[in-house]
Amino acid sequence: MTGNPKAPAADFATWQAMRSDALLELALAAGLPSTPNQDRTDLLHALLEHRLGNGGTVHAEGVLDVLPDGFAFLRTPQLAYAVDPADVYVSTSQVRCLDLRPGHRLRGPVRPPRRGERFFALVNIEQVNGQPAESWRGVVPFASRTALLPTERLRLDHEDATVDLRAIDLLSPWGMGQRVLVTAPPAWPRAGLLARIATAVARNHAGMRLVVCLLDQRPEDTTAVQRALAHVPHCEVLTTTFDEPPARHVALAEIVTAACQREVEAGLDVVLVFDSLTALSRASHLVTPPSGRLLCAGLDAAAVQRGKRLFASARACEEGGSLTVIATVASGADSPIDAAIAAEFQHRGNSEVVIDPGLVAASIDPPLDVLRTATRPEDEIDPPAVRATRLRWRQELAPLSPQERLARVLAALPQS
């Protein structure tokens, strides 16, 4: 990716997300001297100095991450919010002046480090979550907002929808602000279903903010999801792979949760697709100080708290905006730890999608557990007559085998 280095403005986050070879190509095109194996940070410093020296401006944009010692930096979604030596520093005075919190998306001009400094720094804050910085004061914090039951339908069915999406839309209707728990065997390909859900939401609800966060994944699976959702507007795909340390999984989950909450404070409707609560709880167990209480052998009771905070964030807010959380958990039939984690989240949501291990073993697709895939009656957004019809239908399906139930449901699906 190249550009005219003498242009009046540049995006520092775009530079930061570029590989070293692309940065070197950009520096050579600008006529900057280079040395073999030049450090990325040095290349960024040279490009920034060159741009500013030619009368241009460079803007940085990223999500605020406040460290325990009070320092704050902008993390970029292109790097999945990972710590980078070129992250832009935000001063404590800037954070306090606007009462900023972790997860705020900031934009402003950036300057190179001065003598004795180590980091690029934000000169001033022009925008907070897309709004002028001055207008952000007085916004009701997410934790203080009134949580309501979902009232506006979130639809998955569309003309190109797969059978599993149509079945989920029929069996467990969702609303904006829903808390959905997807229970599936550990080896079942959850990422593919989540990518299809994100695509369906984008098609049916244009302009809705989508965040897909996948923890502890195989590298090839992250690539597949990123490419499947590359065309989806307003969608971020943030991933970690299984070779990364547990602290990295926890850090990504926490900053993603905070960023989604700040978007809701800005009045947006946000959908967070998260895989998985099991991976987050296992990682939390390794980085959280022991509480002295165990859920089972090998799992501290405090390890599930981060996952509970993430899952509990789902809500429709009376003051505006909503956060829908669609999170997965491993069914844990063969693992006492997975079973204990799953038990902590069962019935915490107001909608569940359950993948039947028996149907998975029989290679039946989609392997939905028809009776357990449902939305709680008091949370359903369908009219009472539709609810009564669905209840009678479930009573008719109850005596049948799982395969027969699924066949009846698939036969009842509306045709595209």
Domain 9-136, second-level architecture? Beta Barrel (2.40)
Rounded-to-integer distance, Cα 171 and Cα 165, Å: 10
How confident is the model at residue 52, as a pLDDT? 79
User: What mean pLDDT do residues 394-414 have?
Assistant: 89
Q: Is the pLDDT of residue 90 over 60?
A: yes
Q: Is the pLDDT of residue 6 over 60?
A: no
32, 65, 106, 109, 309 from 62: Cα distances, Å: 27, 9, 6, 12, 23
Rounded-to-integer distance, Cα 109 and Cα 59, Å: 4
31-35, 179-183, 256-260, 335-339: segment of lowest average pLDDT: 31-35
User: What mean pLDDT do residues 173-195 have?
Assistant: 92
Q: Is the pLDDT of residue 8 over 60?
A: no
User: What mean pLDDT do residues 74-78 have?
Assistant: 90
Q: What is the pLDDT of residues 91-140, one digit of tens each?
A: 998 888 888 899 999 999 988 888 888 888 999 999 999 888 888 777 88
Amino acid identity, position 31: G
Q: Is the pLDDT of residue 261 over 60?
A: yes
How confident is the model at residue 229, as a pLDDT? 93
How confident is the model at residue 180, as a pLDDT? 96
Non-local CB neighbours of 392 within 8 Å, separated by 6+ positions: none
How confident is the model at residue 36, as a pLDDT? 66
User: What mean pLDDT do residues 282-307 have?
Assistant: 92
User: What mean pLDDT do residues 350-372 have?
Assistant: 92
40-49, 153-162, 182-191, 402-411: segment of lowest average pLDDT: 40-49
Local confidence band at 9 (pLDDT 50, 70, 90 cut-offs): low
Task: Tell which residue, 101, 75, 98, has the closest CA to residue 86.
Answer: 75
Percentage with pLDDT > 90 across the chain: 55
How confident is the model at residue 313, as a pLDDT? 95
Q: Is the pLDDT of residue 7 over 60?
A: no
Parse the chain into domains and list their residue ranges. Answer: 9-136, 147-412
How confident is the model at residue 114, as a pLDDT? 85
Q: What is the pLDDT of residues 16-69, one digit of tens each?
A: 778 888 888 888 887 887 766 777 778 888 888 888 777 778 888 999 999 888
Q: What is the pLDDT of residues 313-333, one digit of tens each?
A: 999 999 989 999 999 999 866
Q: Cβ distance 237 to 229 under 8 Å?
A: yes
Q: Is the pLDDT of residue 204 over 80?
A: yes
Rounded-to-integer distance, Cα 146 and Cα 121, Å: 37
Q: What is the mean pLDDT of the chain?
A: 88
64, 71, 142, 410 from 89: Cα distances, Å: 10, 8, 25, 54
34-48, 136-150, 170-184, 254-268: segment of lowest average pLDDT: 34-48
How confident is the model at residue 415, as a pLDDT? 64
Q: Cβ distance 164 to 193 under 8 Å?
A: yes
* CATH code reported for the domain at 147-412: 3.40.50.300
Q: What is the pLDDT of residues 144-166, one digit of tens each?
A: 999 998 989 999 988 888 999 99
Region at 129 (left for phi over 0; alpha for psi -120 to 50; beta for the rest): left
Local confidence band at 3 (pLDDT 50, 70, 90 cut-offs): very low
Local confidence band at 1 (pLDDT 50, 70, 90 cut-offs): very low
How confident is the model at residue 111, as a pLDDT? 86
